Every structure is written in C-alpha cells, then in structure tokens.
Amino acid sequence: MSAAETIHVDGVWRAAASGAQREVLDPADAKTLAVVSEGGVEDTDAAVAAARRAFDQGPWPRTPVAERAALLRRVAALLQRDRETIALTESRDTGKTLEEGRVDVDDVTNAFRYFADLAAGESAGRVIDAGSPDVHSVVVHEPVGVCAMITPWNYPLLQASWKVAPALVAGNTFVIKPSEVTPLSTVHLVKLLVEAGLPAGAANLVTGAGDPVGARLAEHPDVDLVSFTGGLVSGTKVAQAAAPTVKKVALELGGKNPNVVFADACATAEGFDTAVDQALNAAFIHSGQVCSAGARLIIEESVRERFVAELARRAEKIKLGRGTEDGVECGPLVSAQQLDKTEAYVASALAEGALLRCGGKQPEPSEVRPATGYFYLPTVLDQCHRQMRVVREETFGPILTVESFQTEEEAVTLANDTEYGLAGAVWSADTARARRVAARLRHGTVWINDYHPYLPQAEWGGFGKSGVGRELGPAGLDEYRETKHVYENLRPSPVRWFAG
C-alpha cells in the first residue's frame, strides 16, 4: 500500500480510479501532512457494489452475534495497542491537543466494547402471546443492509466509531466517507478492522470530497441507510438525495447550545470557580469546534459582570499552540476556511454592538504557534442578543457569546430560542429548579451542574434542526437494524372462506 492508496474496496487498498490525489494539511503550520486518494463516483460505485455483494452473498450478516461481538472486542484491543499512534495522528490532523487525541481513542475503545456487550447480551427475540398454543410469534431484529457513513472533520475517529461499531455488530456492511479535511484516523480504523478479521467487502472506505462521494452515497439505490454527521446545509442535501429511494436516514447536525448559569450556583467560592471553569471547557475545548459546544453563556444578571470578568481573565491565559507541544491547552482551527469564518463572525458581532471582553484576533506567532497556522484567540463577546448572527448561527470556533436574564422564565425562553436543539446545561444550587429548567429545555442532551460528559449507554441526538435519529445507547444499535415479526402457525388449517 502506497501513501496515496487510501481507498479500500472489497478488501483491497487502491488509488482513485482517476488517479487524483489530495494533500492533507497540518492546521498548525499549513504544511502537507499526508497525501490521500481523491475518490469520485466510480470509486464510490465500486465500494457500494462490494458492500452489496458482501451483504447479499458474504458471511458477515450470517455470522452469529457472539462472533461479531468478539470481532468488535478485538478491534477495541487493537485501538489500545495503537493508542499513541492514533492519538498523534488525530492531533496533527485536526489540530486538537495530544491529550484530547488520547481521550478520543479511549472513548472509541469504549464504544466498540459497549456495542459488543449490548448485542451479545440481547435475547434472540421478543415472544408475543398469540393466544394459541399452535402459533409461535416473535419479533426479531435484522441488519438494515448496506450502510453509507459520512463523518465530520472535528472528531473523525470518534464519530466513525459511533456508526461503525453498531452497524457491524448488527450484521451490516458499509461504505464510509470521512471528511476530506481529516481522513487519516479513519484509514487507520479500517486497517484495524481488516487486521481483526472482518471479511472482505464488509468495510469499504472512499476518501474524497462530499461532492461527489457523499452525494453519490446518499442517492445510491443500493444503499439501504445513510448516516451523516455534519452541518445543517449538507445534512439537508443528504436527506433530499436519499428521499427518492426512501432509504433510512440518520442525521446528527449542528447545535447552538445554551449554558444557563443561575446566581445561586456561584454563591460559594468553589461553586463560582467550578461554573467559570466549566464555561471555559464548554466553549473552548478543541477551539470550540464541537457540535455540542456551550457557545452561548446565559447568565443571571446579578452575577453577570463578576462572572464574565473572571471568565475573560482566564480565557486570556489559555495556552494556544500546536497540539503536540507540552503545556498547550488549545490548538488551531482546522482550516483556513474555518479561520476566515471565525473572523467574519467576530466582525459581524462587533458591528452589531457586542462588547469584546477578550480575544477577537489571531495571536502573535511563537515557537509553538507558527505564523502560517490557523490560530485564533479564545474570544468572549458580552452584551449579545438574539438578533445577532453570532448568537443565532453555529460558529464552530473559539467564540463565546454572553446573554443575561433576571427570571427563571426568561432563562428558559432564551435557552430555547434557537432553531437547533442538540445540547445544553443548567447550573444551580437549587436541585428542584435545576431539574425543572432541564425538563423544559428542548435539547437532546441536558447536563446539570456539568458540561460535556457523555456515556456510550445514553442516546445522543437532538431536537429541531439538530437532526433526526439517535447514536449511542440501545437506540444507536436499533438505527442499524430492521424489526421483523415472524408468525409461525404450528398447525395450519384451511381458511374455508370460499366454497370449493
């Protein structure tokens, strides 16, 4: 396998049919990190055909669940074996810190183990009492078929695992298209699947752009399910392309997530310190390039100035640089395009009346921050309101906006005043109020007195324009299965509706 043979079809690594290649850039210095194949429609069709043959004629869908689960556990062990290598790849490819890369590998490992245990522990089917000893009626799960997976650039390996693990343990075959910006860890994952013993054709990979590769996967008549994680505009196009063939569609889209802080959460020194620290974590981890980022701080007016002043003071101390350097806390944005978008959002916010409390520009170059890198300072924008673009739209950068409220009702109204509904948080020392507000938030995940933890056992999804479908948890497995009712008459007899 040469450096540019990153397309995997029917068990064989190959270059793109057209011979096209793409340079993958290191966002810390904009230099070439790797060269990958730039697949097109021909490569995509070949990959789908291989997945189709593997599902219709191959052994994987007919492999016992216990053996499929055992393969997932082997993959989990291989992920831990290669933990440092994969973490370094993820750090250099996405710009995140090396420690974040290590956490990602561990989370991916846990996802593979969780779905292995979940599937292996299920019963063979749900028996339904048909009211007759001569009838055996059971509801069973079967694999969907050929799954197309389109994954984002911010958490390429983690998001791939949320699709690959449940799809495989359910008995499906798949074609995966990672983001053309950050494809390298997905290539490594497919290598581990092969090493673990997955049959040829069950896992296929096409590296390339969303158009044409993702578009072709979404519309392909031999694809039974398409699972997409990414932005709202692209997700809408995926749904439209999939509609004519009426295939199953799972969309995990964007978010504009509120972090609601009541004054009583800050009544003690420890409470104040924790809420500020978690607001930083919510907004600036991975430079804010997280769909669940707490990019909207909604703070009670009575503590607003004290809270925001301390938040800005700490944000200015965040150590920005190449993710592989010791002591660095936040890396670059993933691309020049993302840097341009961040600059444009800040400019529009200031033009609309926001108050810049910190950041708002690129940092000075240093030994850990090459001048050519896509770095942007953590930015806090105070005195924001819902009419601002920066408050309404998903910025996907190191930008935190600040809004304030005076009553609980106002806090709920502000938090829900968004077309998205992915995640959010509530901070309060009053347990009853925290739970009451959390219950009223129209968001798929709500944290109370915390931000960003996730459990593989819990479903992940959103309301509104944050998508449809669920990942993780039992529902994440069910996304990749069909339900079948098998009715068996043990003593068949004539119906005798008609004379004869």
Residues 6+ away with beta carbon under 8 Å from 357: 308, 309, 311, 312, 380, 381, 382, 402
Catalytic residue among 252, 393, 394, 471: 252
- CA 219 → CA 122, 237, 246, 356, distances in Å? 33, 10, 10, 45
Would residue 305 show up in a list of annotated catalytic residues for this protein?
A: no
Residue 407 makes CB contacts below 8 A (sequence gap 6+) with none
Distance CA 5, CA 321 (A): 31
Q: Dihedral of the CA atoms 103, 105, 110, 112 (nearest 10)?
A: 160
Cα–Cα distance measured from residue 34 to residue 208, given in angstroms and rounded to the nearest whole number: 14
Kindly name the residue from 291, 330, 358, 384 that is annotated as catalytic: 291
Q: Is there a contact between 315 and 358 (Cβ–Cβ < 8 Å)?
A: yes
Q: Which residues contact 309 (CB under 8 A, 6 or more apart)?
A: 357
Residue 356 buriedness (CB in 10 A; 0-12 / 13-18 / 19+):
middle
Q: Could you count the other beta carbons within 10 Å of the beta carbon of residue 410? A: 15
Q: Are 335 and 396 in contact (CB under 8 A)?
A: no
Closest to 357 measured CA to CA, from 266, 255, 290, 283: 283
Closest CA to 342 of 376, 370, 388, 391: 376
Q: At what angle do helices 269-284 and 304-315 cross, to 10 degrees?
A: 60
CA 286, distance to chain mean position in Å, is 13
Main-chain dihedrals φ then ψ at residue 440, nearest 5 degrees: -90, -10
Tell me if 479 sits within 8 A of 229, measured CB to CB. Answer: no
Of the candidates 180, 205, 178, the one whose C-alpha atom is nearest the C-alpha of residue 191 is: 205
3-class DSSP assignment, residue 220: coil
Identify the bridge partners of residue 483 per DSSP, sorted by sequence position: 141
Give the number of other Cβ atoms within 10 Å of residue 122's Cβ.
13
Q: Is 358 a catalytic residue?
A: no
Q: How many residues does the chain have?
A: 500
Contact call for residues 317 and 422 (beta carbons, < 8 A): no
3-class DSSP assignment, residue 461: coil
Active site residues: 252, 291
